A and B are shown apart, each in its own frame.
Chain A
Amino acid sequence: MLSLLRALPAVLLAWTVSLPAAEPLRSGTFTPPRAAPEFALHGTNGGDVRIQGFHGKVVALSFGYTSCADVCPTTLAYLAEARKKLGAAAGRMQVVYVTVDPERDDLARLRKYMNAFDASFIGATAAPDLLSAMRKAYGVTMTREPSKTNPADYLIHHSAYIFLIDPAGYLRAIMPFGVTPDDIAHDVGALLAG
Chain B
Amino acid sequence: MKIRSALGALVAFAMLSAPAAAAGPAVSVRDAWVRHAPMLEGEAAKSGTGNGAVYATLVNAGAKADALVSASTDAARAAEVHETYQDAGMVMMRQVEQIVVPAGGKVELKPGGYHVMLFDLKRELRTGQSIPLVLTFRDAGKVSVTATVR
Contact = CB atoms under 8 A, between A and B. Distances in A.
A71 B38 contact: no
Given A115-B38, A155-B94, A70 B48 contact: no
Contact of A67 (B36, B47, B80, B88): B47
A159 B89 contact: yes
A62 B36 CA distance: 20
A149 interface: yes
A193 B38 CA distance: 35
B90 A149 contact: no
A-side interface mostly: loop
Contacts, number: 93
Interface residues of B, number: 34
Interface residues of A, number: 35
B7 interface: no
B90 A157 contact: yes
B132 interface: no
Interface of B: 35-38, 40, 42-45, 47-48, 50-53, 78, 80, 82, 84, 86, 88-95, 111-112, 115, 117-119
8 contacts: A69-B93, A70-B112, A103-B47, A116-B36, A145-B94, A177-B91, A178-B111, A178-B112
